[in-house]
Structure 1
Amino acid sequence: MKTTSRAPAPRRLPPEQRERSILDGAVSLAGESGLEALTVRAVAARVGVTPALVAHYRPVMESFVAEVFTTIVSAERDEVIASYDDGVDLRTNLLRLIETLLDDSRDDVAMVWVQSWALGARNEALGARVRAEMDLWHSALEDLIARAAAEAADITVDPASSAWMLLAMVDGMSAHSLVHWAPRDRTDLARRTLAAVLDAPSTSTPTSTSTTSAPTSPARTHS
């Protein structure tokens, strides 16, 4: 008698563990192939479960994409900001931060950011998360600059404007690098941009980081 083989049924897990495995699988998939790769079938194949099970735990794919985006970029932000060294001057700290974000090893996060700006125009759940993460990045960097300025009389820049300029530079160069269009020495350009920002005296009052009045140019406020 001829028999047909069937794929083994997914191992039963407690709901919390299954939910975590689905999120982890989606994060891994997005890191490899970007947010555009996130479909119910693709996530199910990555995790080794049925599409119906993924749909059960995450019934709205647009919201799930937004969740995956937040998981990826918030982890990078926490890591990078935590590396700030209070025992080192602001210029050195910011250069280290910029070099870290521009490192080729972070192209996966840069891809997630670039795709989020495009997909967020049609996916409102994602768009809202993108705006929130941009605000958090900007606020974190503005706070670092403001703290340093309060302790050093020679730092007279506007922390809010400085944060916008630095983040716009990082985002632009990160996006360019994905298609291999970038200066030969990105570190040198980062150093010169940082000098231009920090050596310029403040001439305006701090700008709001509200999502209703933020500049239209993209800023990673991770990649």
Structure 2
Amino acid sequence: MSSTSSRPRTRKAPAERAAEIVAAATAIAREQGPSALTLRAVAERAGVASGLVAHYQPSMDDLVARVYADLVDEEVRDVEGVVGAVADPGARLGALIDTLMDGEREELTVVWVEGWAMARRNDALARAVRAQMERWQTLVESIIEDGCRAGAFSTTEPGEVAWQLIGMIDGLNAQSLSRGTDTTRFAARTARAAEALVGAAPGSVPIPT
């Protein structure tokens, strides 16, 4: 008599399965950008059926927004740690520019660029993009305000200057991504432009070497 045996199937807890699906989607977005997030792609990465992904994530728009917010939140926290370790306002601004233009955040640049484009057709993502942009605004504006209080900066428009500086950095990173060039060579120039924008003495916004 012959017998057959089958491998026992392990049923995972809903919370564990849901976390695995989000982790799979996050890995795809980090590697390929949020535009690569499809039901099939997430299912293949998670090793489950597409129907199971749809069960735990019935709205792909919401999943894209969740993954985008998580990735950008991770980046903001990392940069907050970098600038928070520096006391001098000028050096803090220099550290911000350096870490955002050091060429090590290309994956996140793709997330940002694709997120902006996709947000036009995804309301949940649009809300996530605006929320994260406001976090960047708050971070940069707080550095500039600290510099003004310390007498290192003299601008009377820290909010507008923060917005312009973020736009400069984002634009250069996006252009470098499209051109396939190294954005680090623009860090020193951006620091000099930042000095003019915040009203700081020349050389007071150093780029770490």
Q: Which runs of 4+ in 1 moved over 4 A?
A: 8-11, 181-184
Q: With structure 1 as the length reference, what TM-score do the two structures score?
A: 0.80
> Which protein is richer in helix relative to its size?
2
- Would the aligned equivalents of 1:91 and 1:194 in 2 still touch at CA under 8 Å? no
- In structure 1, what is the Cα distance between the partners aligned to 2:173 and 2:10? 40
Query: In structure 1, how many angstroms separate the alpha carbons of the residues matched to 2:138 and 2:153?
Result: 18
Structure-2 residue corresponding to 1:155: 153
The answer for the alignment partner of 2:25 in structure 1 is 26
User: What stretches of structure 1 of length at least 5 have no aligned partner?
Assistant: 1-7, 202-223
List per-residue Cα deviations over 1:135-154 (Å, max 9, x = no partner). Answer: 1110122122213322x124
Cα shift readout 1:73-118 (whole Å, capped 9, x = no counterpart): 0110011012224653112111111111122221000000000111
Task: Give the paired residue count.
Answer: 194
The residue type equivalent to 1:127 in the other structure is: A
Matched, 1:173 2:172: yes
What is the Cα deviation at residue 72 of structure 1? 0.3
Structure 2: distance between partners of 1:18 and 1:134: 31
Paired position in structure 2 for 1:194 = 194
* Residues 40-73 of structure 1, C-alpha deviations (whole Å, 9 max, x = no match): 1100111111111111110011111011100000
Distance 1:9 1:123, change over 3 A: farther
Task: Give me the TM-score of the superposition, normalised by structure 2.
Answer: 0.85
Distance 1:19 1:10, change over 3 A: farther
How far did 1:9 drift? 9.4
Return closer, same or farther for 1:9/1:94 CA change in 2, 3 Å cut-off.
farther
Q: Structure 1 residue 11: deviation in Å?
A: 4.6
Q: CA RMSD in A?
A: 2.3
Which residue in the other structure is 1:217 paired with?
none
Q: Which residue of 2 aligns with 1:143?
A: 142
Task: Pick closer, same or farther for the CA change 1:85–1:132 going to 2, 3 Å.
Answer: closer
